[in-house]
Amino acid sequence: MSVQKASILVIDDNKSILSALEILLVPEFGEVTLISNPNQIVTELRKKDYNLVILDMNFTSGVKSGNEGIYWLGRIRETNPEISVVMITAYGDIETAVKALKAGASDFVVKPWDNEKLLATLRLALQLNLSLREVNVLRGRESVLKREMNREHRYIIGSSPLIMKVLKLARKVAKTDANVLITGENGTGKELIAREIHRMSDRSGELMISVDMGAITETLFESELFGHVKGAFTDARENRQGKFEIAHKGTLFLDEIGNLSFHLQAKLLAAIENRQITRIGSNEPIQTDIRLICATNRNIDNMVAEGLFREDLLYRINTIQIELPPLRERGKDIVALAEFFLQKYTCKYNKRNLKINRQAIDKLMDYSWPGNIRELQNTIEKAVILCDTSVIKPEDLYLKPVSRSIGFDSIATLEEVEQRMMTMAIEKNNGNLTAAAEQLGITRQTLYNRMKKDKR
């Protein structure tokens, strides 16, 4: 924001001074708000995000101590520490004005003022405000950058035709700014693909910010994504950037987008369409420039058909869709990933001579991996920790008792096939009946009724 488009609040009980400042400042800076009652200051600052306050030192008739100005300066700084405050003082109150500088004022002007000197003072104060805002933005980005740098760097392992097809599509879309929706079961590596797209994009020099939509409560949604100003709600003790602001010029990754409640989807859609957000407690829109990548393990098309997901939002986030294959369909990638995790955890737990035998590899290949890569990683780590010999054998691998396929040759009736499919769907969705029913293509009530029938 330039100085010419600054927002200024003027507080003085002298109407003539207010009029004179309005005439002088509007052509120079644009937006100027005038109030004569200092009791309105805090309310006004919470209504709007001002860059500069011009504050008189005295408001009570006959009082010349300047203590009123010092008091209101403190309230302003408490409400918005970034804001620049220029005090207006009479010639004889210079000593009090110096006290105001020590209390946090940016500068002061003496009545009667010289117009050019006043404008120069205000320009400097506004530049200070803009600098403080930039510093706070950089601090916010720096803290996120430190967390990102401390994240474990992870690789996409595998050479199966399915994963190579995914990587080819990712490379193709990376050089564009198209919004991407990554779909696939839990644990298939959706965030890894998002990071690969960011790494290959023209925005790779900026941050990729990840947000787990399933972990954000509805009450914190706007604060997390759009930010808030100090005092916007009870626990808002300072101004805070939202994830949209922090991801400016970079990539914003919204994981588990299918978990976002219907009424919050409209707010997300507005931010995406308008390319701007507004912090809670502020009326000032903030322009954002992000590349959006979303991910979900749910069937979004079915959710749209059931009225659980906005069709217009789906169109916005789904310019390109990348479907990740489950691990059970990736063949020998299971072996490559197992070897990768084996090397990682033998180093971590100082068991560098530990190997995995052929029979254990066969067991890994025969398993259905409902938890996909995440489950494989956990399985190998557990085996490395608990193995007492130099070789990981089949009995060292602790796997869930879920078959790789339905195996119709071993099933006598259609009811048994149905029961097996329901069991697998429920296990795959960690006991979530709604998600299991959606995967099976039936309603939750139908699934529940059939479960009750099987128990009879």
Per domain, the residue ranges of the chain are: 3-133, 152-323, 327-396, 408-455
CATH architecture of 3-133: 3-Layer(aba) Sandwich (3.40)
Cα distance between residue 106 and residue 108, in whole Å: 7
- Comparing 3-133 with 152-323, is the CATH topology the same? yes
The predicted pLDDT at position 408 comes to 43
Q: Six-digit token pair at 19?
A: 């009029």
Helix (H, G, I), strand (E, B) or coil at 162: helix
Bridge pairing between strands 180-183 and 291-296: parallel
Contact 280, 242 (CB under 8 A): no
* 347, 348, 354, 360: CA torsion to nearest 10: -120
For residue 296, the cross-strand partners are 183
Residue 2 φ then ψ, to 5° = -85, 160
Closest CA to 254 of 246, 263, 245, 244: 244
**Cα(221)–Cα(328) distance, integer angstroms:** 35
CB within 8 Å of 291: residues ≥ 6 apart = 177, 179, 198, 201, 203, 250, 251, 252
Q: pLDDT tens, position by position, for the chain (456 residues)?
A: 445 567 889 998 888 889 888 888 888 887 889 998 989 888 888 888 788 899 988 887 656 677 888 888 888 888 887 788 988 887 556 777 778 888 888 888 888 888 888 888 888 888 877 777 666 666 666 555 555 544 555 678 999 999 999 999 999 999 999 999 999 999 999 999 999 999 999 998 888 999 999 888 888 899 999 998 877 887 777 788 899 999 999 999 999 999 999 999 999 999 999 999 999 988 889 999 999 999 999 999 999 999 999 999 999 999 999 999 999 999 999 999 999 999 999 999 999 889 999 999 999 999 999 999 999 999 999 999 999 999 999 999 999 875 444 444 444 567 767 777 887 888 777 667 777 778 888 887 777 677 766 554
Q: Following DSSP, what letter does each residue of 345-368 receive, concatenated?
A: HHHHTT-TT-EE-HHHHHHHHHS-
Give Cβ neighbours of residue 144 (< 8 Å, ≥ 6 apart): 207, 209, 246
186 by DSSP, 3-state: which? coil
Find out whether 55 and 88 touch, Cβ atoms under 8 Å.
Answer: yes
Distance CA 156, CA 97 (A): 63
Would strands 227-228 and 276-278 be described as parallel, antiparallel, or unpaired?
unpaired
Q: 3.40.50.300, 1.10.10.60, 3.90.1150.10, 3.40.50.2300: which CATH number matches 408-455?
A: 1.10.10.60
> pTM, whole model, 2 decimals?
0.62
* Among candidate residues 320, 340, 385, 353, the one with its CA nearest the CA of residue 173: 320
CATH code for 152-323? 3.40.50.300
Q: Ramachandran region of residue 227, left (φ > 0), alpha (ψ -120 to 50) or beta?
A: left
Is 327-396 a CATH 2.60.40.1120 domain? no
- Cis upstream peptide for 112 (omega within 30°): yes
